[in-house]
Structure formats: structure tokens, C-alpha cells
């Protein structure tokens, strides 16, 4: 089947590193969904504001591969344990489709793009193609007694964040909480033996360099790009 | 983007009429997911049994249209109120992708098809193409305070079911509860003024004919196909 983007989302992430491991983990992360010309039809969104959350079906556009691999190594398992690709939400999948629940903050009409949706809790790269938007239906989608395996076990994993005031102030005020929470979510990839390493997270036009020591992300510098 | 089915699901529904309005509403509805040859790889499912529920991203294969319509008429609104297509889970969408959460009953290896997944709470037509299977991750996917607009308002709508014993016994025992609950879920389409009409639901190789009177589905006959 041929599917075509109906929209693209604009976020503060130009690179994958630093994006929270699931949607909703950092409510301060905003995104704006801008529709392709054909879909800038106000009627198509009638009633959408009565839903608090939306599903986005999107393209893991930076994770296309020629061949799929039956197993992946989830970062939450330390990156050295393999699980089946269908037992993971890894971006490397036979069909490169992603699924995220985001909060609908508001519907905003803009002069340039017509109707747009401002959403929060995003975990998507800037310019990710969106194939479908569906309302979140609590009675069907919120399964209170579901078991989430290793994702459950590690849902509270987090780092302390040591972000000195003078460095924090380099960031615009509205972006500070988002960065702190993204760091707390532990953006490090699979292999973590390498403590002392300087990691670099790009966000909202800034490069944030940090190390990880004793379960604490220590910000070393913030550079405007 | 070109996407290709990784699997097809086999269910008791050869026709759309009678399928519950969302997944999970009728836990007795079983389906078996049979994979395409390339994906019958045991490793690809390693660890999947530690998740209780799965997301299926599928093709609304019987709802393809040349042109999409910006608005749809949800049956739950009586079929005479229009909402935006992106404020609905209607099968008639710009990209014909569906999303359902199902319960994973078991992983079953079969001689003919290799590894298969038996799932319950299905709301899919027999032979629906599946593009992706992802584990349900409760901390991200179950949003307890989400608001579901008209879907919330109508989540408890149901019919009484008058299914005489002699008719019920025409069905195999394992299918009876499923049929009763599908009828209770009120399968009637949009326009309901037409009481006295005989509806026909096809399920598991039987045609179930019923009328609706005073909020009760009255089964009139059951025919083996």
C-alpha cells in the first residue's frame, strides 16, 4: 500500500539523541503539526478540540533500513539484551511506522499554513512525516491492567541533573524545563560502560554537552548553534 | 511510502456489519495473526509474551475510496451529525490505516504457518492486512485523565439482547457469548429511525437475523451459511 504524508510535525529535535523514549514523558515538549495543502480543510478537524489527546501514526524517517532485523537491543535493557522487534517499539521495523500519543494543546489557524495543531509530550524529530491523526479514545485505548514487561520495570529510571544556573540561563526560559527533563530521562544509547564520555544533545538550536557520573547528568556547556 | 503487510488476521467476521465499534469491547472475540513467509522468524517475537496487550496497525482494506471526505458521521451520534475525519476513528481516512489494541492470548506455533499470535478483543474483518505489531506500553499508552468527547459519552450505550435458547443453540457453544455481546454493542449503522427492519449479522459461518424494538435486539433466526 502506498501511503502519503498528510502533515509534518515541527519540534525542537533536529537529531534523534535526546528524544524521550516514549511520548508523554516530557509534557513541556511542544510540537506543531503543519498539514499538507490538501488537508488544510477546517471541517476535517471539526470536534477535535473535544478530545484531550491524539494518536499520531508517523514515519521513523531517519531509521529506514534496506533490511529489517528480527531482534533489537532496547536501551532500557542496557543495550546488551536482545528482544524481538515485535516486542519493542524500536524505530527499526519491517514497516517504518511509529505510534505516539500526544496531548492536543490547541488548534491554531496561521496565515501561512492555515489550520495547525499544537501538541505536547512529543517524542518526534523535527519534520517527521505524519500519516494519520486519530483521537485517543480512553475506554478503548487506556488499558489499566495491561502488563508492560521491561518497559514497566524501567519506567521510572532517571538521572539526577546538575545544570548550573549560568549554563541554564543560556537557554530561552521556555525551553529550560524541557531540556532538564530530557536529560533526566537518560538519553544515553545502549552501551553505558563508557562513563566520562561527553554526550551532546541538540535542542532548539542549542548544543547541550554533558557527562554522566554517579547517576547524575552534569551539564558541561551550552552552545548556541 | 510503500508499506507491505507483515501478516493477516483471521477472525469470525466476513463482513463489517456486527464488528464492535472499538477493540476490547468484546473480549470473547478471538483472532489469529498469521505472518507472511518472511516474518515467520521466532526471534522476532522473543519477549512478546511478557506484554499482555499489543497494538495492531492495519489496513481498513474494505474501506478504500478514491477520494477522502473531510467529515464523517459517527454511528454513535445517530449518524446525522458530522465530525471531522481527524476527530473520528472512521475507516474512511486519507491513509487507510487502522489502530487497535488487542489482548495477546498466546503465541502458538503451527505446522502450516509457523509462529502465530492468538489475540482477543478484536474488531477486525477476517483477512485484514497487518502492517505493524507493537507492544502496548502502559505508562505511555494508558492516559488515565484523557477526555474522549462523544466516544466517552456513548461508551456505555448498549442494547438488551433477546436470544431464544433454541436459536442460540444453533451456534457452537464457544461462539455464543461473542455474538450476544456484539449484538449488545448495537451494530446498527447510522440511521436508526427504521425500527422493525431486519438486520443481518454474519459471524463464524452463521447469519444472525435480528430486529431492534424498545432498545432490545431480538434475534429472529440463525442460519448456517
Q: Round to the nearest angstrom and report the end-to-end CA distance of chain A.
A: 40
Residue B136 in contact with partner chain A when CB distance is under 8 A:
yes
Residues A175 and A115 reside in one and the same domain: no
Domain end among B141, B175, B202: B141
CATH number at residue B43: 2.40.30.70
Q: Which helix (H) or strand (E) element contains residue A173?
A: helix A173-184
Residue recorded with cell 501511503 = A3
Q: pTM of this prediction?
A: 0.95
The answer to whether residue B80 sits within a structural domain is no
Residues B170 and B121 reside in one and the same domain: no
Cα distance between residue A80 and residue A191, in whole Å? 7
Q: Which residues pair with B86 in a beta bridge?
A: none
Cα distance between residue A107 and residue A32, in whole Å? 10
Residue recorded with cell 543495550 = A79
Specify the pLDDT at position B79.
74
A148: nearest CB among B137, B146, B148? B137
Q: Round to the nearest angstrom and report the end-to-end CA distance of chain B.
A: 40
Specify the pLDDT at position B16.
93
Residue B96 in contact with partner chain A when CB distance is under 8 A:
yes
Residue recorded with cell 488537508 = A39
Question: For chain A, what's the residue count?
Answer: 225
Specify the pLDDT at position B191.
60
A84: nearest CB among B23, B48, B85? B48
CATH number at residue A164: 3.30.2310.20
What distance in Å separates residue A113's CA from the closest CA in chain B?
17
Cα distance between residue A161 and residue B130, in whole Å? 42
User: Mean per-residue pLDDT for A196-218?
Assistant: 94
Residue A154 in contact with partner chain B when CB distance is under 8 A:
no
- pLDDT per residue, tens digit, chain B (225 aa), is 999 999 999 999 999 999 998 999 999 999 999 999 999 999 999 999 999 999 999 999 998 998 999 999 988 787 778 999 999 999 999 999 999 999 999 999 999 999 999 999 999 999 999 999 999 999 999 999 999 998 888 888 899 999 999 999 999 999 999 999 999 999 987 666 666 799 999 999 999 999 999 899 999 999 999
A45 CB neighbours in chain B (<8 A) are 84, 86-87
C-alpha distances out from residue A26 to A35, A94, A182, B98, Å: 24, 28, 7, 27
The answer to whether residue A174 sits within a structural domain is yes
The answer to whether residue B120 sits within a structural domain is yes
What is the number of structural domains in chain A? 2
The answer to whether residue B149 sits within a structural domain is no
Residues B168 and B134 reside in one and the same domain: no
Residues A25 and A132 reside in one and the same domain: yes
Per the structure block, which three cell numbers stand in for B179? 455474538
Residues B109 and B164 reside in one and the same domain: no
User: Cβ(A131)–Cβ(A59) under 8 Å?
Assistant: yes
Cα distance between residue A13 and residue A123, in whole Å? 9
Tell me which residues of chain B, numbers 177 to 196, contact chain A at a CB-CB cutoff of 8 Å: none
- Residue A200's Cβ-side half-sphere holds a number of Cα atoms within 13 Å equal to 11
Average confidence score pLDDT of chain A = 94
Residues A162 and A220 reside in one and the same domain: yes
What is the extent of the structural domain holding A133?
A: 7-61+96-141
The answer to whether residue A105 sits within a structural domain is yes
Domain end among A141, A174, A197: A141
A132 CB neighbours in chain B (<8 A) are 93-95, 97, 99
Domain end among B116, B141, B166: B141
Residues A126 and A55 reside in one and the same domain: yes
The answer to whether residue B199 sits within a structural domain is yes
> What's the complex ipTM?
0.95
Residues A205 and A174 reside in one and the same domain: yes
Cα distance between residue B212 and residue B192, in whole Å? 9
- Residue A165's Cβ-side half-sphere holds a number of Cα atoms within 13 Å equal to 0
By C-alpha distance, the chain A residue nearest B130 is A95
Q: What is the pLDDT confidence band of residue A189, given thresholds at 50, 70 and 90? A: confident
Residues B115 and B39 reside in one and the same domain: yes
Residues B137 and B162 reside in one and the same domain: no
The answer to whether residue A89 sits within a structural domain is no
Residues B133 and B163 reside in one and the same domain: no
What pairing do the DSSP bridges indicate for beta strands B216-224 and B160-162? parallel
Residue B48 in contact with partner chain A when CB distance is under 8 A:
yes
DSSP one-letter string for A38-97: GG--GGGGTTGGGBSEEEEEEE-TT---SS--SEE--GGGTT-S-EEGGGS--S--SS-E
Residues B161 and B201 reside in one and the same domain: yes
The answer to whether residue B83 sits within a structural domain is no
Per the structure block, which three cell numbers stand in for A10? 515541527
Amino acid at each position: 500500500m502506498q501511503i502519503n504524508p498528510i502533515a509534518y510535525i515541527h519540534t525542537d529535535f533536529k537529531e534523534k539523541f535526546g528524544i524521550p523514549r516514549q511520548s508523554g514523558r516530557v509534557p513541556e515538549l511542544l510540537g506543531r503539526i503543519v498539514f499538507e495543502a490538501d488537508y488544510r480543510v477546517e471541517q476535517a478537524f471539526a470536534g477535535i478540540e473535544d478530545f484531550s489527546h491524539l494518536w499520531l501514526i508517523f514515519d521513523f524517517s531517519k531509521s529506514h533500513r534496506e533490511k529489517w532485523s528480527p531482534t533489537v537491543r532496547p536501551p532500557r535493557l542496557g543495550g546488551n539484551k536482545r528482544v524481538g522487534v515485535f516486542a519493542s517499539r524500536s524505530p527499526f521495523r519491517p514497516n517504518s511506522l511509529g505510534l505516539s500519543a500526544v496531548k492536543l494543546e490547541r488548534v491554531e489557524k496561521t496565515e501561512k499554513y492555515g489550520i495547525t495543531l499544537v501538541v505536547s509530550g512529543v517524542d518526534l524529530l523535527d519534520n517527521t512525516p505524519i500519516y494519520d491523526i486519530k483521537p485517543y479514545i480512553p475506554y478503548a485505548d487506556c488499558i489499566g491492567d495491561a502488563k508492560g514487561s521491561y518497559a514497566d520495570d524501567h519506567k521510572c529510571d532517571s538521572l539526577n541533573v546538575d545544570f548550573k544556573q549560568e549554563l541554564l540561563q543560556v537557554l530561552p526560559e521556555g525551553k529550560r524545563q524541557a531540556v532538564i527533563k530530557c536529560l533526566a530521562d537518560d538519553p544515553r544509547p545502549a552501551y553505558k560502560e563508557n562513563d566520562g564520555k561527553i554526550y551532546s544533545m541538540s535542542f532548539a538550536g542549542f548544543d547541550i554537552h554533558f557527562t554522566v557520573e554517579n547517576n547524575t547528568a552534569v551539564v558541561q556547556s551550552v552552545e548556541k548553534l
